[in-house]
Amino acid sequence: MLNIVIFGAPGSGKGTQSENLIEKYNLAHISTGDVLRAEKAAGTELGKLADSYMSKGQLIPDELMIDILASVFDQKTKNGDCKGVIFDGFPRTIPQGTALSEMLKERGEKIAAVVSLDVAEEELIDRLISRGQKTGRTDDNYETIKARLDVYYNQTTPLKEMYEKEGILHAIEGIGTIDEIFGRIATVVDKVK
């Protein structure tokens, strides 16, 4: 299977580019942010718990996310009608990265590429503020965005080094039109598929 991790700071375009990848390569999409927002909208206990972290810009605890990820992966791939999976917003910590590799190995799978979208901080903040104004997404306000960026720099960026050592990290310039950036991503994916 073609398993791709799309990696980057909040607002770097992970969700946006995932939509293009799904369509072009017939991949299933796992967005942990979308899973948590759906739980919140449904008013479940998990959703209430997730919201208590997301509204502060913090990460949901690893043990919980790792369990969720494995069950969503099995559910999305059970029919065998997708060519692979795009992991959008997971992993976000080293323990999540290790758990993802183990989960895939147990199923005879591996990550084909980690696509890392590089975008300057001012641009990230502008994009997220603008999305917050358009959609009312409650974590897209200045204070929470700054907290999410701190979490990204402290807890998520160490994964880059891990994937670089594994030789599967592909850094992509994440500034430009959505189509231009997708062209850069597709060049990488076409080489590994």
- Only one of the segments 22-30, 52-60, 103-111, 157-165 lies at the binding site for ligand B4P (rule: CB under 6 A); that segment is 52-60
Known catalytic residue at 148: yes
Sign of CA dihedral 120, 155, 62, 52: negative
Known catalytic residue at 92: yes
Question: Considering only residues 67-126, where is the footprint of ligand B4P by CB under 6 A?
Answer: 89-90, 92, 96
List the beta bridge partners of residue 87: 5, 30
* CB closer to ligand B4P out of 65 and 111: 65
- Active-site residue among 37, 40, 92, 127? 92
Number of helices followed by number of strands (H, E) in the chain: 9, 5
Q: Does 2 bind ligand B4P (CB under 6 A)?
A: no
- Active-site residue among 76, 137, 160, 184? 137
Closest CA to 40 of 49, 31, 32: 49
Q: Does 14 bind ligand B4P (CB under 6 A)?
A: yes
Among 2, 11, 30, 97, binds ligand B4P (CB under 6 A): 11
CB of residue 190 vs ligand B4P: minimum separation in angstroms? 20
For residue 189, count other CB atoms closer than 10 A to its CB: 21
Closest CA to 7 of 131, 158, 128: 158
Among 4, 65, 104, 115, binds ligand B4P (CB under 6 A): 65
- Active-site residue among 37, 40, 127, 148? 148
Closest CA to 181 of 110, 106, 127: 127
Strands (E), 37-177: 84-88, 113-118, 169-173
Q: Does 172 bind ligand B4P (CB under 6 A)?
A: no
Known catalytic residue at 37: no
Q: Are 21 and 84 in contact (CB under 8 A)?
A: no
Number of residues that bind ligand B4P (CB under 6 A): 28
List the beta bridge partners of residue 171: 116
Q: Are 111 and 104 in contact (CB under 8 A)?
A: yes
Active site amino acids: 14, 92, 131, 137, 148
Q: Which residues bind ligand B4P (CB under 6 A)?
A: 10-16, 32-33, 36, 53-54, 57-60, 65, 89-90, 92, 96, 127-128, 131, 139, 148, 178, 181
